[in-house]
Amino acid sequence: MDPLAAAVVAGAPADELARIDVPSHYTAVHLRAEDAGKFTGVADKDVRKTLHVGPVPMPELAPDEVLVAVMASGINYNTVWSAMFEPRSTFGYLRRFARGGRWAARHDQPFHAVGSDAAGVVVRAGTGVRRWRVGDEVVVSPVYVDDEEPATHADGMLGESMVAWGFETNFGGLAHYCVARASQLLPKPARLTWEEAASNPLCAGTAYRMLVGERGARMTQGDVVLVWGAAGGLGAYAVQLVRSGGGIAVGVVSSEEKAAYARSLGCHAVVDRARIGLTGRAPADPAAVGKRLGRCVRDAVGEDPHIVFEHVGRATFGVSVFVVRRGGTVVTCGSSTGYRHEFDNRYLWMRLKRIIGSHGANLHEQAAVHRLLDLGHVRPALTVTYPLHETAEAARLVQCNLHTGKVGVLALAPRPGLGARNEAE
């Protein structure tokens, strides 16, 4: 551990942190450009073969950026995609991003430091940063926007330059340090540990925009919401948002262990995928699976779902369009089982259903769900943590869908349970 990182871990005051030199290199979980073709023709794209932990060069800080000493981070499925080089190599994203000028050009490297969640301490702030200072404890939103683009001021997600931090940019959160724009930061909730705080931004923000935000499904009290993957990272937050918003959550899971976890989060009912004959692949007859699922939902809560929370993709999308009620909404943010979806359009157009695409969360939405976490109305979905040097194993767990909730990673934090403070402190 370098002297600056050691000082952060020891709780050194801001003036001391400002005096210690920033290291020339730092430890990061990263991909290597020469591995980009590693999985060509390979069935099992094991991410443990491409996620490396080791030193990478420290970038120069842009005027609108901060350097954060990362205490904890988390695994998101975009890290799995990155490590599989699917749907395409993220080195292509970095090259495209680098065309944006001098500061963007730093991101085009033969390595890609990944990770889209982080909680830590600001150790440097660019000359143009106004709201954040060395020593501030922060969490990092995964949405990287250009505040000079007009559309950004209507909705940060609509700007053409919006990208996913740590996925389409370099210097992400699975590291001892990360580089973020000041517009990505929110104060770390004092009541949460480092790993709890780091587990929330991507999944909680995404679920909030999908369900509660005015650009999503706009869930209201009494709505029946079907949540695919209700025991996973996204699903765990979706279930809690449905519960706290007065909705009725029906979760779909793949084991009794996951069913118990989903119930503990607030699911009114849980359906096992095996019960409706749904494997990991898209069913030959989505309507038949949808009929079985519909009966399960009606038996449990008495009516069809108003909203389907969809992020599984190819294996479930046709079923989602079928099972949502007349006039209902399927809101989708991802496709972990495949991007090419097939559904019977008759059930969409003739029954007046809607499909809403959703992606991340703007900073206003992120702050809203952040407040719910700070108040304790939504709890972190963290269930397990790994040390940074075992990040590849953590990512493999998510790749194989063997996890519940959110998988955390300790970066500089020496052990779990640190960072929580009483309000009086």
Q: For 5-53, what is each residue's pLDDT tens digit?
A: 999 999 999 999 999 999 999 999 999 999 999 999 999 999 999 999 9
Per cent of the chain over pLDDT 70 is: 99
pLDDT at 397: 96
Tokens of 291: 């009929």
Tokens of 91: 């080195």
Cis peptide, bond prior to residue 87, ω within 30 of zero? yes
pLDDT at 425 over 90: no
Per cent of the chain over pLDDT 90 is: 92
| Averaged confidence pLDDT in the chain | 95
pLDDT at 66: 98
Per-residue pLDDT, averaged over 363-374, amounts to 95
* Confidence category of residue 279, pLDDT binned at 50, 70, 90: confident
pLDDT at 318: 95
Q: How far is CA 315 from CA 118, 132, 225, 226, in A?
A: 30, 44, 19, 15
Residue 268's CB is within 10 A of a number of other CB atoms, namely: 17
pLDDT at 410 over 70: yes
Q: Name beta bridge partners: 181.
A: 65
* Confidence category of residue 395, pLDDT binned at 50, 70, 90: very high
Q: For 212-260, what is each residue's pLDDT tens digit?
A: 999 999 999 999 999 999 999 999 999 999 999 999 999 999 999 999 9
* Confidence category of residue 336, pLDDT binned at 50, 70, 90: confident
**260 Cβ contact partners less than 8 Å away, ≥ 6 residues apart:** none
pLDDT at 280: 76
pLDDT at 337: 86
- Are 79 and 175 contacting, i.e. CB atoms less than 8 angstroms apart? no
Per-residue pLDDT, averaged over 397-417, amounts to 96
As a whole number of angstroms, the distance between CA 31 and CA 60 comes to: 20
Q: For 59-105, what is each residue's pLDDT tens digit?
A: 999 999 999 999 999 999 999 999 999 889 999 999 999 999 999 99
pLDDT at 291: 96
pLDDT at 322: 97
Query: pTM score, two decimals?
Result: 0.94
pLDDT at 11: 97
pLDDT at 423: 55
Residue 21's CB is within 10 A of a number of other CB atoms, namely: 8
pLDDT at 383 over 90: yes
Q: What is the dihedral of CA 235, 240, 242, 243, to 10 degrees?
A: 140
Phi-psi category of 359—alpha, beta or left, where left has phi over 0 and alpha has psi -120 to 50?
beta
